[in-house]
Structure 1
Amino acid sequence: MALNHADTTLSTPLLHLVFVSIKSLALYLAILLFVINKHKSIDPNALLYVLPYILYLIVAGIFSFDGILGFGLFAAISNEKKYLCFVTFRDYLVLSSFLGIIAYLSFVIGIPLPHTTVPLYGGSMGSYINFGFTYLDFSFDGLRLCGLFNEPGYFGTILALTLIASGFNMKKISNIVMLIAGILTASMAFFTLVGLYVFFVNIYKPKRLITILLVFFVSSFVLIKTGIVPQTLVDHILGRFVFEDGKFVGDNRSSTAIDDAFTNMLKSSKVWFGYGDHLPVDQERTLTYKFYVLQYGIIGALLTWGVLLFASLKTSKCSLPVLTFIALFFISIYQRPGIFVPCYFVVLFGGVLYQNKLNSYES
């Protein structure tokens, strides 16, 4: 949530402090209830789920008391509870998507819903349209839906992964709601992840593939023709998929300085353990896996991402949809490497368990 970020412009420092304090108190209460009621039913595979986070803390050289408690609690609860965590988080995303769509429509059509306008976080060009229950990003690339996340790309990535974990079943209204919200984020990650999943999972199911494509194109056509999604935003999205000079125009996750530093590191002794805190380049408001590898090296990446990949594969039942979901989750790291946060673990492990159940029902 945007309110969780210290540099957010959507609340006052006091409100941010209150939000973070309530979050911590809720965690401590959950730990207490677990100890009182569930201490005899700790998941025997708990270490499998929490080890990647512990390794991340060791590699990064940081300590987070709340983080250890939160990830430890998630690891300790049963797989059924992990599954329910994902279901609850998915319900939250569906509700915030629905409210976000209403706010987006009201702003485009001109229905007067109360809102304020504040600058984007971090000094970025543009503004937030703050409805309280959802945010819109209004900047140079048009109007984009953020949900309650701090930026539309983050919301779009999580929506894409949740849709994929849900089997992308367009018979469910909840999935259609998340699909429409994802389109309104105008996130390149959303379109890329969803497009890859739909293609690979349904490559031998032409009827299902055609149905999904029809739902997507009809939804997009209606949103564009009714003026809900402006043509300028459509042009911007399509323009990001133009391939020039060996990469997509919309691939803005890295920078020339980081690319050069990454190339130089691969030829040096720093390739294995990285530069740590003595980086030769600033992050420069970029989000790329290269910066992570620059910090922690190949060994650090293998100890964190590699162990997390092993844990997710061990949890899965190795069906094509599950393996595709896991592969796309790790592909998403390309543009958002900061996955060692609770919502990503809920989406990954909860999503794998959700897919396992879906596949069992289908079988």
Structure 2
Amino acid sequence: MMLSLQQIDARKYSRGLFCLTGLILMYTSMQLYFTWFMYQSLLIVMIILSTSLYLKFNKPCITRQRLIAAFLIIAVLSYELIFVYPSTFVAGIYMFSRMLFVVVLIFSRVEYLRSFLKLVVQVTAFLILISLVFWVLFLLGVPLPHYSTLTNNYYEHTVYYFFILNGDAGQLIPRFAGLFLEPGHLGSMASMLLFLNGVSLRKWQNIVFLIATILSLSLAAYGLLVGGIVLYLITKSKRGYLKIIPYIVGLAGLVVFFTEYNGGDNPVNEKILSRLVFEDGEIAGNNRTSQWFDMQYDKYLESPNTVLGIGREAYNEVLIGTASWKRYFFVRGYVGCILLLVFLFYYLKIFPSKTGGAFLIIYIVCNMIRDYPLDELWLYLVIAFLPVCRYEYDKLLLRK
């Protein structure tokens, strides 16, 4: 029996609303500028409405393995709710709505996940491209409307509406952050999307991601970029290691050039290369934790709190200026870390592929630096990309 036009349209628009809601949740989780004005109550309504319509008009793919994966992610988020999340009614409802959406995403069919990934790639690339245009105008001295603000009691911003500047306007070339809170967030996101979009520079989105990563002047993003390209070439070719050689030679040439250019007085050498020098057995650019946090962390390791973590009580001045796997472990302890790793490796087990495994490595490394593994911006990429890799990516899923 053929589907009516109304049924087809209902499926199409319900999927579109679901994907749009997921995209907004991803951007909200990392506080892109245009999400600063969204209330949790509005997001809750969007989640309930979009998931209800999506399930009504689209048949979910429910299997025993996906049920176990859903149970595991619910366990992870429940731990967040009980020990980490703010103890407010609205925050609790919001967490339950987040659980609902991520479970429905896990039960989504591969072709839907493919469409969702394409939307994430295209919209994110477009937003970054718009930011780049206005950022170039700013560098050329074109006066643009702006205002200054403080976010998270830590970030000092100059908001130019189409991009955000992190208080370094006086430098020769400021670090590019786009609409993100900081350049490292942008660079990490762009590096991950470059990988899952196939690395090829024949796609305009990948050119945008590459430029954004380079202009972020983020040491972490550069590491993810190089590591992502290496892993991609290795997993997509039987002799991928041979294709790495030209990249290594080119990278070495760039290192020599920026080290010597203008006597080393250039943004790349100052913000990236000089931070790769080892001092006292550590990389000089390792600024992921503050001295105050390191003192508290040493005490934490000798306490019984390592089992469950410090929890929501840790969100005070101790965590200011700190981001790394240490912070995640400090807040959530062994139990929280183990729950997350069990989910991630089980998810890879049920959707095994070389490309998916490589992406999971990038995701884990990224969150060892940033420690935002449960933020929708990162989490949804893993949930959508691993099934897609397993069944469709090797058939040029994200082809033009």
TM bucket (normalised to shorter chain) is 0.7 to 0.9
Comparing 198-207 and 21-30, the one that deviates more: 198-207
How far off its partner does 1:31 sit?
A: 1.6
Which aligned pairs between 1:1-363 and structure 2 lie closer than 5 A? Answer: 4=28, 16-18=36-38, 20-38=40-58, 40-44=59-63, 45-60=65-80, 61=82, 62=85, 63=92, 64-112=95-143, 114-124=144-154, 126-130=156-160, 132-139=161-168, 143-202=174-233, 204-205=239-240, 208-209=243-244, 231-232=266-267, 234-277=269-312, 279=314, 282-317=318-353, 319=354, 321-356=355-390, 357-361=392-396
Quick check: 1:160–1:190 contact (8 Å CA) kept in 2? yes
Name the SS for the 1:81 alignment partner: helix
How far off its partner does 1:307 sit?
A: 1.9
Name the SS for the 1:47 alignment partner: helix
Name the SS for the 2:177 alignment partner: strand
The whole-number CA distance in structure 2 between the counterparts of 1:59 and 1:183 is: 37
Q: Which residue of 1 aligns with 2:6?
A: none
- Matched letter for residue 133 of structure 1: F
- Matched letter for residue 119 of structure 1: T
1:24-49 deviation per Cα after TM superposition (whole angstroms, max 9, x unaligned): 333232122123212x4343244344
Name the SS for the 2:176 alignment partner: strand
The whole-number CA distance in structure 2 between the counterparts of 1:55 and 1:147 is: 34
The whole-number CA distance in structure 2 between the counterparts of 1:25 and 1:31 is: 10
Comparing 273-282 and 71-80, the one that deviates more: 273-282
The whole-number CA distance in structure 1 between the counterparts of 2:298 and 2:147 is: 42
Quick check: 1:312–1:349 contact (8 Å CA) kept in 2? no
1:307-358 deviation per Cα after TM superposition (whole angstroms, max 9, x unaligned): 22321342232x2x33222112111121222221222122112233444433
The whole-number CA distance in structure 1 between the counterparts of 2:202 and 2:251 is: 13
1:180-208 deviation per Cα after TM superposition (whole angstroms, max 9, x unaligned): 01111222221011112223444643663
How far off its partner does 1:88 sit?
A: 0.8
- Matched letter for residue 267 of structure 2: T
Return 5+ residue gaps in structure 2 as ranges: 1-23, 86-91, 259-264
- Matched letter for residue 127 of structure 1: H
- Matched letter for residue 164 of structure 1: F
The whole-number CA distance in structure 1 between the counterparts of 2:252 and 2:348 is: 33
The whole-number CA distance in structure 2 between the counterparts of 1:188 and 1:6 is: 19
TM-score calculated relative to the size of structure 2: 0.74
Quick check: 1:46–1:76 contact (8 Å CA) kept in 2? yes
Name the SS for the 1:87 alignment partner: helix
How far off its partner does 1:290 sit?
A: 1.3
Name the SS for the 1:146 alignment partner: coil
The whole-number CA distance in structure 2 between the counterparts of 1:212 and 1:246 is: 28
1:205-255 deviation per Cα after TM superposition (whole angstroms, max 9, x unaligned): 36633565688899999x9xxxxxx93355222222222222222221112
| Percent identity between the two aligned chains | 19
Quick check: 2:177–2:183 contact (8 Å CA) kept in 1? yes
Quick check: 2:157–2:166 contact (8 Å CA) kept in 1? yes
Q: Which residue of 2 aligns with 1:227?
A: none
Q: Could you say what the CA RMSD is over the residues aligned between the two structures, in angstroms? A: 3.6
Name the SS for the 2:105 alignment partner: helix
How far off its partner does 1:361 sit?
A: 4.3
Q: Which residue of 1 aligns with 2:10?
A: none
1:146-195 deviation per Cα after TM superposition (whole angstroms, max 9, x unaligned): 22222221111111111122232233232111100111122222101111
Quickly say closer, same or farther: Cα 1:101–1:265, change in 2 above 3 A. same
Name the SS for the 1:335 alignment partner: helix
- Matched letter for residue 338 of structure 2: L
Name the SS for the 1:119 alignment partner: strand
Name the SS for the 1:91 alignment partner: helix
The whole-number CA distance in structure 2 between the counterparts of 1:248 and 1:327 is: 21
1:8-59 deviation per Cα after TM superposition (whole angstroms, max 9, x unaligned): 9x68xxx845565554333232122123212x43432443443343222332
Quick check: 1:48–1:311 contact (8 Å CA) kept in 2? no
The whole-number CA distance in structure 1 between the counterparts of 2:313 and 2:187 is: 33
The whole-number CA distance in structure 1 between the counterparts of 2:233 and 2:27 is: 38
Quickly say closer, same or farther: Cα 1:123–1:341, change in 2 above 3 A. closer
TM-score calculated relative to the size of structure 1: 0.80
